[in-house]
Structure 1
Amino acid sequence: MSDWNAASSSLLVRAGRETDAPLLPDVERSAAQAFLQVPGLEWIAADDVTSEAEHRAAIRAGASWVAEISRELVGFAVATEVGDALHLEELSVRFDAQGRGVGAALMRNVIDFAVLRRRSVVTLTTFRDLPFNEAFYSRFGFLTLTRDRLSARLRDILSQEELLGMPPDRRCAMSLNLEREKPGGGER
């Protein structure tokens, strides 16, 4: 555990670098410790994480960001551009840094990137009814999609997650419409 205080340290969000890739799986493992407090989802704390090779690919694709406090890597976000959408694949904040604004800073960066790239929507899948999942993203304006509002892509992602052991009744897809945030499209 680190000996830093986010209140007295500067938080930096930047593009991921190749040298970050070996550190990111450990950040995700640490972040997953939050699931130890969620009945029925404790297994996630010991589940597989995004590999170093997958992180390197995301970094090369330009849709990977890391958060640092006092030059110490404490979080990351990875997204994929799919058509007119940006899909958030993973957002993880080291367990000892959770609740300090790191996830929010990363999320703002992801949204800003989507606006810059002129994407019309940001999508993600997450757990329902968890303050650090569905409720967290709702604070940024994400809406939980009902089954009839899911695109084929999001239905496929949820189906793949179910095959990996995610309980389908506890998962949801969310989207943030960015049309109003494009230049000339109104307030942000």
Structure 2
Amino acid sequence: MDPATRVPVGRPARHTEYMRIRSARRSDLPLLQDIERAAGEPFRALGMAFVADDDPPPLDLLESYRQADRCWVATDPLSATGDRPLGYVLADPVDDALHIEQVSVDPCAARRGIGRALIAHLAELASARGMAALTLTTFTDVPWNAPYYARIGFRILPEAELTDGLRTIRAEEAEHGLDRWPRVCMRRELTPTARTPAARPSDAVTVSGGT
């Protein structure tokens, strides 16, 4: 078994569980596609069927992230779901930051702090690597997009602060059709931390408490 981080994560009904965050395995990848399809469905109720119907990342792309140690999953090994992924995150180094390419949580596991735990894991890794920030692009008016990220420390970047890498990402998104709805780039500054020699980007993390 690979090393893991376990974090207490709060669930609304006075329940505390230990969420395990680990590097993705090849056998996880089809499950990540299922999570992505399910996570897209709530967009349909907002009139964003184009987003809901968008294909999940192809297996070869997910495999490239896995091989590069840039794909992590969250599991709840003490629950009935066991080591099955409940959420996942993909990240790329972009300019001086670690860019969150995708973070998705299965709706059946919503409101348990899984997305927040995955992002906290990325923040720790990025800080240990001496990176200055986390960045992402997201929809401005979707409640679980920009407003959510603002609550966990991200700020909207004005046009003048966009880096070359973020401009490239936004251009690719526009070409894909995502600019049918307002989108923004967001950034969360990080404080560099000393990294212990034993720490590795692929190590799993356990997180606890909070949402």
Both structures adopt the same fold (TM-score exceeding 0.5):
yes
2:74–2:88 Cα contact (<8 Å) kept: yes
2:55 maps to which of 48, 65, 75: 48
Of Structure 1 and Structure 2, which has the larger fraction of its residues in strand? 2
In structure 1, the partner of 2:68 is 61
Deviation at 1:9, TM superposition (A): 4.5
Higher relative contact order (CA 8 A, sep 6+): 2
CA distance in 2, matches of 1:82, 1:154: 7
CA distance in 1, matches of 2:111, 2:159: 31
Deviates more, 1:64-73 or 1:26-35: 64-73
In structure 2, the partner of 1:135 is 147
Deviation at 1:77, TM superposition (A): 0.3
Q: Could you say what the CA RMSD is over the residues aligned between the two structures, in angstroms? A: 1.9
2:72–2:90 Cα contact (<8 Å) kept: yes
Q: How many residues align?
A: 177
CA distance in 2, matches of 1:75, 1:183: 26
CA distance in 2, matches of 1:155, 1:168: 17
- TM-score, length basis structure 1: 0.86
CA distance in 1, matches of 2:94, 2:142: 27
CA distance in 2, matches of 1:60, 1:116: 20
Gaps of 5+ in 1: none
Could you list the runs of 4 or more consecutive aligned residues of structure 1 that deviate by over 6 angstroms after TM superposition?
Answer: none
Deviation at 1:182, TM superposition (A): 1.1
Gaps of 5+ in 2: 1-9, 195-211
Which amino acid is the alignment partner of residue 14 of structure 1?
A: R
2:138–2:146 Cα contact (<8 Å) kept: yes
Report percent identity of matched pairs.
33
SS of match in other structure, 1:167: helix
2:172 maps to which of 157, 160, 164: 160
Deviates more, 1:68-77 or 1:5-14: 5-14
In structure 2, the partner of 1:21 is 29
CA distance in 2, matches of 1:15, 1:135: 28
Of Structure 1 and Structure 2, which has the larger fraction of its residues in helix? 1
